[in-house]
Amino acid sequence: MFDVSLAALAAQVFTGLVLGMIFVLLAIGLSLIFGLMTVVNFAHGSFYMLGAYFGFFLLGRTGNFWVSLVVAPLMVGTFGLLIERFLVRRLYGRGPDDPLLLTFGLSLVMVEGARMIWGKIGLTFDPPRALASAVDLGFTRFPAYRLFVIAITAAVLVALWAFLTRTDVGLVIRAGSRDPLMVRALGIDLGRIWLIVFGIGSALAGLAGILAGPMRGVYAEMGVTMVIESFVVVVVGGMGSLLGAVVAGLLIGEVVSLTTFFAPKLSEIMVFVVMALVLLIRPSGLFGEPGLLE
């Protein structure tokens, strides 16, 4: 069982990287939204699902994957803006329970809505022709599309990092998550910042969705388990920590991949075992600050 070749193990690590990248995209959005607004966004999985459906829809209309890849997340982001502006905003300052209930209800509505619009039966769409083949990496053959997923996620993360550290808006977002009262006292309209952050978070979930679509298919329930696993990632990384979301996302991806390799029966449970272990040693997660939820 354990006489494993190095090549097979390397291939496994690569596979885990792709799983991790999808988790990272979802977890970053969750973590951003939580860090700034202390909103636990249960509708995040539904934004992921919407991204995939919008991608499918746009691909059917335009026939161009690249256009869909850009527009679908923007559409999900816009949808997220509307949700924040007209629903979530009314619940700020009420403690984390109320928005949690709202977003949970919203996720049920969205799943049912997707079933009504696109049907109960899943859809499939193909990666673009250029990425449809498998690439020989020397130690294994790996799908070109999955390499592309790694690349695009890395690029988005770098862009996001630049946005948060190098722009004024990014500065305000970081300040807002540290001390919202002080930022307000300085005369900055936090309402607009909340809107932007919610939009970015949903757009990232939408991007994860359209990226996952060609690999996993598109169906109404696709976000249900993903949102739970992404929360695990956020908790492991530390609620509100972006670096934590990245590190924990990759960690969980590798844990799933390597557990599947050595003991497939445990692959589902190991995610939660990791969470339990991390929380035992560091109750606020790998990179979390204590006291955010109090």
Residues that bind other proteins (CB under 8 A): 5, 7-8, 11-12, 14-16, 18-19, 115, 120-122, 124, 127, 132-134, 140-143, 145-146, 215-217, 219-222, 256-257, 260-261, 264-265, 267-268
Gap between the Cα atoms of 51 and 54, Å rounded: 5
Give me the least distance between CB of 266 and other proteins, in Å please. Answer: 10
Give me the least distance between CB of 107 and other proteins, in Å please. Answer: 15
**Residue closer to other proteins, measured from CB, 166 or 265:** 265
Residue type, 212: A
Distances in whole angstroms, Cα of residue 34 to Cα of each of 30, 165, 194: 6, 19, 11
**Residue closer to other proteins, measured from CB, 114 or 172:** 114
Residue 254: alpha-carbon gap to chain centroid:
16
Gap between the Cα atoms of 120 and 217, Å rounded: 13
Q: Which residues contact 153 (CB under 8 A, 6 or more apart)?
A: 21, 22, 24, 25, 211
Contact 202, 103 (CB under 8 A): no
Q: Which residue has the tokens 């026939």?
A: 63
Give me the least distance between CB of 250 and other proteins, in Å please. Answer: 14
Give me the least distance between CB of 46 and other proteins, in Å please. Answer: 15
**Residue closer to other proteins, measured from CB, 42 or 148:** 148
**Residue closer to other proteins, measured from CB, 12 or 31:** 12
**Residue closer to other proteins, measured from CB, 44 or 146:** 146
Give me the least distance between CB of 140 and other proteins, in Å please. Answer: 6
